[in-house]
Amino acid sequence: MADLTRTAAAPSRSGRRRERGALAWGFGLPALRVLLVAAACTLAWLLLVATVGPSAFPPPPLVAAVAMLPVNVVCLGLVVRRIRATGGSATSLIGYRRGRLAGDVLWGLLWLAVLYVPFAMTIMLVMWALHGDAMFTAFETVFFDPQAIPPLSPAVAAVLAVVAVVTFAPLNAPTEELVYRGSVPHDLARRMPLPAAILVSAALFGLQHVWYAPTPDAVLVYVCAFFVWGIGSGIIAWRQGRLLPLIIAHGLVNLLTSLPALAVPFLLANGTP
């Protein structure tokens, strides 16, 4: 009987250790990503200051997108390793099937539209809370800081633009979905209800975007809007059971935000600030 008792107790202790480990990964992985994003943006800003002179913080989207390359590589490696450690695979979590790719693209477009509505409404609501009736005029300054545009040469801007377009969307979308809608909610749900896990993951997702906000007012807008986006994406991932449609939706957003970078070298060459 004593042997049976010890045998039964061992898995319980092992299970508690696994649950503590899951909680540590559930908070630690997104927290690490937030810190890496902060470090990458800070280093990119310092490099700008050292090479072209005083520049506003955070760095402009063109530079920030390039700075995300090492962050995404590191985080993608970590999240794939974590998923494997829990007995799963990133491939199965993404859920790619050759025969249903067209359907997944349509799902991605649908989720993009579904997520964009509350996202845009949140932006409007926060802007109204901050600026009242002057909210539409404030859009001109809240999301754009002219001082954040560094005086780069057209050649340097062209290289950065190509790197941003080629690497940002293909890496950022799957990495963030695997982290914030895949591994993190799964780990957190071992120690808390799933709705709470989705909320925590969405909050960390929103916090990450602080480092992309061009002005102080934009910080609050970004945090709130991306928190709402994270909640919607978390619910979709839970209900659909795979991430590929969300990766497609997320990738389209990232692509649309990085493609304008290709115009920057031409604007600089023509003397446009």
Query: Given this model, what pLDDT does residue 6 score?
Result: 38
Task: Say yes or no to pLDDT of 266 above 60.
Answer: no
Listed range (73-87, 88-102, 229-243, 248-262) with the worst mean pLDDT:
248-262
Tokens of 226: 């991306």
Where do the domains of the chain lie?
A: 18-90+108-269
Query: Given this model, what pLDDT does residue 155 score?
Result: 81
Q: What mean pLDDT is reported for the chain?
A: 88
Residue given tokens 């695997």 in the structure block: 178
Per-residue pLDDT tens digits for 58-80: 888 888 999 999 999 999 999 99
Tokens of 91: 């491939």
Please state the rounded mean pLDDT for residues 260-270: 61
User: pLDDT grade, residue 218 (50/70/90)?
Assistant: very high
**Which amino acid belongs to residue 80?**
V
Listed range (47-61, 143-157, 235-249) with the worst mean pLDDT:
143-157
Query: Given this model, what pLDDT does residue 3 score?
Result: 39
Per-residue pLDDT tens digits for 168-194: 999 999 999 999 999 999 999 999 999
**3-class secondary-structure state, position 213:** coil
Query: Given this model, what pLDDT does residue 265 score?
Result: 60
Task: Say yes or no to pLDDT of 93 above 90.
Answer: yes
Classify the C-alpha dihedral 267-269-270-271 as positive or negative: positive
Tokens of 180: 């914030």
Whole-angstrom Cα distance, residue 4 to residue 18?
22
User: pLDDT grade, residue 7 (50/70/90)?
Assistant: very low
Listed range (7-16, 175-184, 195-204) with the worst mean pLDDT:
7-16
Helices 244-258 and 61-85 cross at an angle (nearest 10°) of 160
Residue pair 226/216 in contact (Cβ under 8 Å)? The answer is no
Whole-angstrom Cα distance, residue 253 to residue 242?
19
Whole-angstrom Cα distance, residue 168 to residue 173?
8
